[in-house]
Chain A
Amino acid sequence: MKKALLPSERASWTATLLLIVAGVLFIYPFVWMFCSAFKDNKEIFKPLQLLPGAWNLEYYKLLFKGELIPFWRVFANSVLVAFLQALGTVALTSLAGYVFAQHRFRFQGLLFVASLVVIVLPQQALAIPLFSWLNELKMIDSIWGVVLPGVVSGLGILYFTQVFRQIPRELVEASRLAGLSEFRVYWTLLPLCGSALLSFGLIQFILSWHEHLIPLLVLSTQDKQTLPLALASLFGSSLRFPFAVLMAASTITILPTAILFAVMHRRFKSSLSEVLPH
């Protein structure tokens, strides 16, 4: 007799087929976008025509020349903002997460809930007050005005508290008995959560890469803008320009997060499932 397999081990062809249909519907626009970077304006406005008449690289060249938007400049800004924000968030929230997970102290519950409040009241919901505050601080039109408020992440606190809860207490106690200061204890535990740090860094990078509202309020000079802003302003401009340039820019905009995710996909999923309550 055949041993009964668990659902994760038996393959169902109907499920696979249905998923392929859903998947194709989900990514058709992306395939279309990739192909449309080679089309002229007449071809582009036929959404059902997928392949371009000719694989014409001139629109990429036009984009890289930087006359319509300073593309590489904007791209570099986006990378810088997202990287700094990811780094800052991981540093601050992992430290706080360690404290919440491995210490008992007065006002612990209150402080924890205070940081959770940031999840339900994110900076986008408070964008106008944030803008006028940054205005008072003279941080308008500086990338720090985007990066610094962005590192206050309630999600990070929740995530790293769960991560540091997984670490055996004996290990923490042993490091304390060895006479390390609390910060050194945290520092020695860090390598144990490498995956978790990278995963959350990736999430924060993606969130920051996508952010539209806050940079729109803060950054006004074109040379300081990030990708969503540049794409939106090109799209909204009354200029007559080949739409293929916009599609080429969009294609490159998607690449970094898509590649990062594809590379880290497995690590990301397992570190996520470790922190989820079960």
Chain B
Amino acid sequence: MGDWKTYWLRGKGAPYLLLLPFFAFFIFFWVMPLVGGLRLSLHSNTLVEESEYVGLQHYQELREDPKFEKAIRNNIIYTGACIVVILPSSALLAYWLQSAWKRVRPGLTFMLLLPGLTPPAVLALLFLLVFHGKEGVLNQMFVMPFSRDGAINELFHLHFNARPINWLKDPHFIMPALVMQAVWRWTGFVTFFFLAGMEAIPKSLYEAAYLETNDRWKVFKRVTLPLLQPVVLFCAVYLVVDAFAMFSGAYMLLGGSGGTADAGLLMVSYSYQQAFTYGNFGTAAAMSLMVAPALLALLWLAIMGPRWLKGRVG
């Protein structure tokens, strides 16, 4: 009896006992939904009546569904654009912040971070009211100067004839509008992560680097960025996952649809639409499960990628 107790409290069993609470939740609220989703995706689309086994029919349908293809393509473009814009601008902002006047640094960091602290639903609301629209800031600042009697034309005697962009109705601009929102939301946070990572870099490394050069940018490029690589990788993974889980912004801006010509249709919005607009829960579940392998591959890449690189270089 005593041995048994020691085994679980202090001995070899203890780690498993202490992991139990987390993994109980993990199994109950993560594995079970997944298994349930698998079952759901193999049955016909009814929640109320007894549904029947249909095999891979939903998957087959999705493979031929042009809307699903569009959602995947949109989501990939959206993810790529977010990464390409956010990571470099955050690196640049972190670099500037590192060399900004010390007393304004916390204030500036907070200004950049505020969108990240704001619920995306509120961000979308503000985006609609402030940026978007004929009178909106984006049009007034960046488009209207190029209009027929805009400032740029007057100044340089040019003949641009720009019209205010209808960001959320014009299919060419829906995606840029969604990306802009993500950039607005995440850039500050990623910058903050970079700064925290930079704080962890030993000062002696900088001292050594500054013996060789006085060029701040060069030091940033050669010393800071390479050492920041794990942080960058983490942020990149997080951004990709967030992009594939993006819902609130698109839902607020496009009202649960994909927008004009489905130009803003993303994975989660489409599965939401399938489930709650059409009542096709099986199809929606199949959709989630079809994205899963891609996201798992991402994890694998994030774990194995750096090791592979290390093996090559070091």
A128–B248 contact, CB under 8 A? no
B34–A126 contact, CB under 8 A? yes
Answer whether A213 and B200 are a contact pair too, CB < 8 Å, given A11-B99, A129-B288.
Answer: no
CA distance A257 to B244 in the complex (A): 24
B158 within 8 A of partner (CB): no
B19 within 8 A of partner (CB): yes
- Which of B60-68, B162-170, B202-210 touches A? B202-210
Q: How far is the CB of B208 from chain A (nearest CB, A)?
A: 11
A44–B129 contact, CB under 8 A? yes
Nearest CB to that of B202 among chain A residues? A278
Q: How far is the CB of B271 from chain A (nearest CB, A)?
A: 5
A22 within 8 A of partner (CB): yes
Answer whether A276 and B196 are a contact pair too, CB < 8 Å, given A19-B108, A129-B36, A261-B117.
Answer: yes
A250–B122 contact, CB under 8 A? yes
CA distance A19 to B113 in the complex (A): 13
- Which of A51-59, A61-69, A190-198, A228-236 touches B? A228-236
A interface list, Cβ under 8 A from B? 4, 6-8, 10-13, 15-16, 18-20, 22-24, 26-30, 32-33, 36, 44-48, 91-93, 95-96, 98-99, 103, 105, 108, 111, 113-136, 148-149, 151-152, 157, 176, 181-183, 186, 206, 209-210, 212-213, 227-228, 231-232, 235-236, 243, 246, 250, 253-254, 257-258, 261-262, 265, 269-270, 272-274, 276-278
A6–B111 contact, CB under 8 A? no
B99–A7 contact, CB under 8 A? yes
B37–A132 contact, CB under 8 A? yes
Question: Which listed residue (B9, B114, B303) contacts A26, Cβ 8 A?
Answer: B114
A26–B115 contact, CB under 8 A? yes
| 6 A/B residue pairs, CB under 8 Å, sorted by A | A15-B95, A47-B130, A92-B25, A182-B9, A227-B119, A254-B117
B285–A213 contact, CB under 8 A? no
Question: Which listed residue (B110, B114, B252, B281) contacts A235, Cβ 8 A?
Answer: B252
B29–A254 contact, CB under 8 A? no
A213–B206 contact, CB under 8 A? no
Chain B residues, CB < 8 A from A132: 33, 36-37, 40, 47, 281, 285
B247 within 8 A of partner (CB): yes
Additional A-B contact list (15), CB under 8 Å, known A128-B37, A129-B33: A15-B97, A27-B115, A47-B129, A92-B21, A96-B19, A108-B15, A126-B292, A127-B268, A132-B37, A149-B30, A213-B251, A257-B117, A272-B193, A276-B230, A277-B230
B308 within 8 A of partner (CB): no
A119–B299 contact, CB under 8 A? yes
A149–B29 contact, CB under 8 A? yes
B241 within 8 A of partner (CB): yes
B96–A206 contact, CB under 8 A? no
Q: How far is the CB of B125 from chain A (nearest CB, A)?
A: 6
Identify the interface centre among A120, A128, A157: most chain B CB within 10 Å of its CB: A128
B interface list, Cβ under 8 A from A? 9-10, 12, 14-19, 21-23, 25-26, 29-30, 32-34, 36-38, 40, 47, 93, 95-102, 104, 106, 108-115, 117-122, 125-127, 129-131, 133, 135-137, 140, 184, 187-188, 192-193, 195-197, 199-203, 206-207, 210, 214, 216, 219-220, 227, 230-231, 237-238, 241, 244-245, 247-248, 251-252, 255, 267-268, 271-272, 274-275, 281, 284-285, 287-289, 291-292, 295-296, 298-299, 303
A128–B285 contact, CB under 8 A? yes
Q: How far is the CB of B140 from chain A (nearest CB, A)?
A: 6
A269–B130 contact, CB under 8 A? no
Nearest CB to that of A44 among chain B residues? B129
Question: Which listed residue (B12, B125, B187, B296) contacts A250, Cβ 8 A?
Answer: B125
CA distance A92 to B130 in the complex (A): 41
Identify the interface centre among B112, B115, B135, B196: most chain A CB within 10 Å of its CB: B196
CA distance A118 to B17 in the complex (A): 21
A212–B119 contact, CB under 8 A? yes
A122–B241 contact, CB under 8 A? yes
A231–B122 contact, CB under 8 A? yes
Nearest CB to that of B294 among chain A residues? A120
Dominant SS among interface residues on chain B = helix
Chain A residues, CB < 8 A from B230: 276-277
Nearest CB to that of B288 among chain A residues? A126
Query: Which 7 A-B pairs rank lowest in CB-CB distance, beginning with the nearest?
Result: A129-B37, A23-B111, A212-B248, A124-B245, A182-B14, A228-B121, A15-B96
CA distance A119 to B237 in the complex (A): 9
A120–B101 contact, CB under 8 A? no
CA distance A80 to B93 in the complex (A): 35
Q: How far is the CB of B25 from chain A (nearest CB, A)?
A: 5
Chain B residues, CB < 8 A from A243: 129
CA distance A48 to B214 in the complex (A): 43
Question: Which listed residue (B101, B127, B140, B238) contacts A11, Cβ 8 A?
Answer: B101
B29–A105 contact, CB under 8 A? no
CA distance A10 to B40 in the complex (A): 60
CA distance A129 to B42 in the complex (A): 12
CA distance A105 to B38 in the complex (A): 31
Q: How far is the CB of A77 from chain B (nearest CB, A)?
A: 14
Chain B residues, CB < 8 A from A93: 22
Answer whether A186 and B119 are a contact pair too, CB < 8 Å, given A120-B295, A125-B244, A127-B272.
Answer: no
Q: How far is the CB of B195 from chain A (nearest CB, A)?
A: 7
CA distance A16 to B271 in the complex (A): 44
